[in-house]
Amino acid sequence: MSHVRKQLVYEKIAHTFLGLAAALTAAPVIIIIVFLLVKGSAALTPEFLTGMPREGMKSGGIFPAILGTFYLVIGTVLFSVPVGTLAAIYLTEYAKQGRLTRTIRLAIANMAGVPSVVYGLFGLGLFVLFLKMGTSLLAGSLTLGILVLPVVITAAEEALLAVPQSFRQASLALGATRWQTTRKVVLPNSISGIITGTVLAIGRAAGETAAIMFTVAAFFLPALPSSPFSQAMALPYHLYTVSTQVPGMPEAIKWGTALVLLLLVLLFTLTAALVRARFRRKKRW
């Protein structure tokens, strides 16, 4: 009997430690979010969001950084969503499953693991210098577009695979071609997966720093970007500069920038989670 009791005591102790691990994991998240909300919200004024930086960025707003990130995100989506969706269509609708698709999936898994600073070097080598785009919104968007491709492809592929095979067979039996079937039957039924991927990609691109440091981001620009070949400021890089590169920067500006960036990224991550959950609930087949 005492043996059993000893085991039960062991179980109590073990479960306490496991609970402690979970608490130690979750507590910092809550602390960080609360700190950002409390300290950052003090800086969030309309002027901060819509004004230009002044006095060596030590006062004024962060509008150019917000706008730059907005442009970058649009460029990223314009590249990654069509290419990523077509890549997923290839994997699920067109390709014969075999060595090539296995290699493609391995490449996608590895792309997801390449450090973002390496994407930055790649973008610098290929887009900025080799293709002579210069440090520009275009070069930065393409670099980010490549970086988020695995996210888009994975989400789209999951959605395409969820469309029942019978839908395709019905369409093909009516004499539709493969592309007609894909476009009129498969894609409309997987649109929410593609939206999920797009929104996740936006969140990732909006928060990415290392990949844009050498391809687009500028420390400070007096004017707003005027074309895809302009340099631009961007929120994540702005947070990096105001918190490490400028001595005597007021705390409020740092916390405010961090909070705006966090809210922007979490907004997209949350939207993606909601779209996905809604889609899973509403599936009719």
Partner 1 sequence: MVKVNKFQKFREALIGKLILLCGVTSIAVMALIFLFLFRDAFSLFGHYSPIDFLTGQNWYPISSPPVFGILPLILGSLLVTLIAVVIAVPLGIGTAIYIAEVAPAWLRESLKPIIEIVAGIPSVVLGFIGLILLAPWIQKLFSLNTGLTALTGGIMLAFMALPTIISIAEDAINAVPLSYREGSLAMGATGWQTTRRVVVPAAMSGISAAVMLGIGRAIGETMVVLMVTGNAAVMPTALDSALHPVRTLTGTIAQEMGETVFQSPHYYALFAIGLTLFLITFAVNWVADAVLYRYRESE
Compute CA 40 distance to the chain's CA centroid, rounded to the nearest angstrom. Answer: 22
Asked if residues 259 and 43 have their Cβ atoms less than 8 Å apart, the reply is: yes
Query: Per rule CB under 8 A, is residue 89 in the interface with partner 1?
Result: yes
Residues between 179 and 238 with contacts to partner 1, criterion CB under 8 A:
179, 203, 206-210, 213-214, 236-237
Residues 124-153 that bind partner 1 (CB under 8 A): 124-126, 129-130, 146, 149-150, 153
Residue given tokens 């695995």 in the structure block? 150
The residue among 186, 220, 230 whose CA lies nearest residue 75 is: 230
Helices (H) and strands (E) in the chain, counts: 11, 2
Of positions 73, 108, 160, 199, contacts partner 1 by CB under 8 A:
108
| Angstrom distance (rounded) from CA 158 to CA 166 | 17
Query: Minimal distance in Å, beta carbon 174 to partner 1?
Result: 8
d(CA 56, CA 53): 7
Residue 95 in the binding site for partner 1 (CB under 8 A): yes
Q: Are 219 and 245 in contact (CB under 8 A)?
A: yes
**Residue 107 makes contact with partner 1 by CB under 8 A:** yes
Q: Is 34 among the residues that bind partner 1 (CB under 8 A)?
A: no
Element holding 147 (H helix, E strand): helix 137-161
Determine the size of the site formed for partner 1 (CB under 8 A): 87
Shorter beta-carbon distance to partner 1: residue 119 or 284: 119
Out of 1, 2, 28, 98, name the contact with partner 1 by CB under 8 A: 28
For residue 37, give Cα distances in angstroms to 240, 256, 258, 276.
19, 9, 10, 27
Which of 44, 67, 74, 111 lies at the binding interface for partner 1 (CB under 8 A)?
Answer: 111
Q: Which is nearer to partner 1, 31 or 285 (CB)?
A: 31
First vs last C-alpha separation in the chain = 54
From 59-67, 189-197, 223-231, 240-248, give the range in contact with partner 1 by CB under 8 A: 240-248
Give whichever of 92 and 230 is closer to partner 1, judged by the CB atom: 92
Smallest separation, CB 31 to partner 1 (Å): 8
Residue 210: Cβ-neighbour burial (10 angstroms; 0-12, 13-18, 19+): middle
Q: Pick the stretch among 7-15, 47-55, 70-78, 225-233 that binds partner 1 (CB under 8 A).
A: 7-15
Q: Does 240 bind partner 1 (CB under 8 A)?
A: yes
- Kindly identify the residues of this chain, within the stretch 44-73, that bind partner 1 according to CB under 8 A: none
What gap in Å lies between CA 212 and CA 266, rounded to an integer? 20
Regarding 161 and contact with partner 1 (CB under 8 A), the answer is: no
